Amino acid sequence: MAQPTSPPAEPAVADEAAPGRTDGSDAAGLGRLRAALFVTPALLIIGVFLVFPALWTLYLGVTDYRLTGIAAARPSFVGFANYVRALTDPLFHNALWLTLLFVFGSAIIGQTVLGFGLAWTLRSAPRWVRGTVESLVLLAWILPGVVVAFLWIALLDSDRGTLNALLGTAGHAWLVDNPMTVLIVFNTWRGTAFSMMLFAAALAALPPSQLETARLAGASGWQTVRDVVLPHLRRHLLTNTLLISLWTFNDFTPYLITAGNPDHRSEVLPVYIYLTAIPGGQLGFGSAISLLMLVINLALAFFYLRLLRERRS
């Protein structure tokens, strides 16, 4: 590859993929051919293991694909039967409703409000207070899902759990009596870090002169937040809401805590799909529901991307 840098008699163009046509931004002189080669492995993996499965749900959703039996060997076309069944299945309605509760309660209300509250109050707190609280919130976010799930199972245990000991409610079976409330509080605990950091970064970018102007005008804390801070954060608020809604909507951690129990009372969509399709073996029907989720994801993501674009332009 390396050639001596002497005046060559013949142009050493063989090394350039597109000699004399290298783009001004192509700083290393990669050339189009090599660039294409560089992109290929990643695109191949994404294509096979991400794009293909997503598109395949389109086909699977209109078949009666099963894991075992005749339909496993020769799945047949069933048209929109799976979708009709989904839309009339009370368990699907139940899962959809619980998922809405989960997203609304833990993401839109819980994480956003707590995250903003923490970012706002910790802004002016002493360094060590801020460091400690932030570390705790972050820790809840970064620990593996299986571990935090068990931590909450232990916390909520009816006989010896710490929560019952603290509240003096010995014997209360939180996971049986209030499974959705538990999941919502759990996910608020688990995911607040993201909102907190996003809002903290946004607040750090708020010009101090604006806050000082409000103070000089005699605004109270709440007035300052309402009149100066929130308008400034509107974009971030929207970004945050969309992202955490998307993630919460797709979160599989509830399976690790309640697994949909008791009696489907905490069976959010991801858990419902898993139970139906994999242990239940109804792959075609599970695919139809996956596709419905995908469409909802797509709607949220499009909304988010349009927002990003507006910001860039």
Partner 1 sequence: MMPPVFTPAAFVRRIGFYVLVGLVAAFFAIPLLWLLTAPFDTTPAYGVQVPDFTLGNFRTLLANEQAMISLGESVILALGSMAVTVGGAALAAYALSRVAVPGRGALLYLLLLLSSVVTGTTAMVPIFLLMFEAGLIDSRAGVVLVMTGGLLPAAIFILKDFMDATPRSYEESARVFGARPLQILWHVVVPITRPGLATIAVWATVQVWGNFLVPFILFTDPAKQPAAVIMHTFYTEGGQPKLALISAFSLLYSAPVVAMYVFVSRRYGFRFHGGIKR
Partner 2 sequence: MSEIELTGLRKVFEGGVRAVDGIDLTVADGEFFALLGPSGCGKTTLLRTVAGLESADGGTIAIGGDDVTRLSPGDRDVAMVFQDYALFPHMSVVENIAYPQRVKRVPKAERQAAAAAVGADLELAGLMDRRPGQLSGGQQQRVALARAVAARPRVFLFDEPLSNLDARLRLSARTFLKRLQRELAVTTVFVTHDQAEALALADRIAVMEAGRIRQVGTPQEVFRRPANTFVANFIGSTPMNLLPGVAVEGGVTVAGVRLPAAHSVAAGTELVVGFRPEYATASAEDLPGALPGRVAIVEHLGTSLLLTLESGDLAVGVTVPEDAEPAPGTSLWVQPRPDRLLLYDAGGGDIIEA
Contact positions vs partner 2 (CB under 8 A): 2-8, 11-13, 15-16, 19-22, 24, 27, 29
Are 222 and 85 in contact by the 8 Å Cβ rule? The answer is no
Q: Note whether 88 binds partner 1 by CB under 8 A.
A: no
Where residue 10 falls (left for φ over 0; alpha for ψ -120 to 50; beta otherwise) is beta
Q: Which of 11, 19, 45, 93 binds partner 1 (CB under 8 A)?
A: 45
Closest CB to partner 1 among residues 8, 79: 8
Q: Which of 11, 13, 39, 226 binds partner 1 (CB under 8 A)?
A: 39
- Give me 101's structure tokens: 């509760």
Closest CB to partner 1 among residues 63, 229: 63
Nearest Cα to Cα of residue 289 among 107, 89, 106: 89
Q: Which residue has the tokens 């709607």?
A: 299
Q: Note whether 269 binds partner 1 by CB under 8 A.
A: yes
Residue 13 interacts with which of partner 1, partner 2, none, CB < 5 to 8 Å by class: partner 2
User: Which H or E run includes 247?
Assistant: helix 230-249
Residue 8 interacts with which of partner 2, partner 1, none, CB < 5 to 8 Å by class: partner 2
Are 186 and 257 in contact by the 8 Å Cβ rule? The answer is yes
Q: Which of 250, 262, 265, 307 binds partner 1 (CB under 8 A)?
A: 250
Residue ranges with strand state E in 24-80? none
Least distance in angstroms from the C-beta of 11 to partner 2: 5
Q: Which of 13, 87, 113, 143 binds partner 1 (CB under 8 A)?
A: 143
Q: How many Å apart are CA 248 and CA 250, to the nearest integer?
A: 5
Q: What are phi and psi of 265, to 5 degrees?
A: -80, -10
Residue 121 interacts with which of partner 1, partner 2, none, CB < 5 to 8 Å by class: partner 1
Least distance in angstroms from the C-beta of 9 to partner 2: 8
User: What DSSP line would sit under 137-170, residue for residue?
Assistant: HHHHHHS-HHHHHHHHHHHT-TTT-HHHHHHT-T
Q: Which residue has the tokens 């163009």?
A: 13
Q: Note whether 144 binds partner 1 by CB under 8 A.
A: yes
Q: What are phi and psi of 30, to 5 degrees?
A: -65, -45
- Give me 171's structure tokens: 């014997």
Are 110 and 194 in contact by the 8 Å Cβ rule? The answer is no
Q: Which of 74, 127, 160, 312 binds partner 1 (CB under 8 A)?
A: 160
Least distance in angstroms from the C-beta of 256 to partner 1: 6
Considering only the C-alpha atoms of the chain, give the largest distance between any 2 of them, rounded to a whole number of Å. 91
Residue 120 interacts with which of partner 1, partner 2, none, CB < 5 to 8 Å by class: none
- Please confirm whether the linkage preceding 262 is cis (ω < 30° from 0): yes
Choose the stretch contacting partner 1; rule: CB under 8 A; options: 41-49, 103-111, 171-179, 223-231: 41-49
Name residues contacting partner 1, limited to 291-310 (CB under 8 A): 291, 293-294, 297-298, 300-302, 304-305
| Residue 221, amino acid | G
Choose the stretch contacting partner 1; rule: CB under 8 A; options: 86-94, 101-109, 224-232, 287-295: 287-295
Least distance in angstroms from the C-beta of 18 to partner 2: 9
Closest CB to partner 2 among residues 20, 168: 20
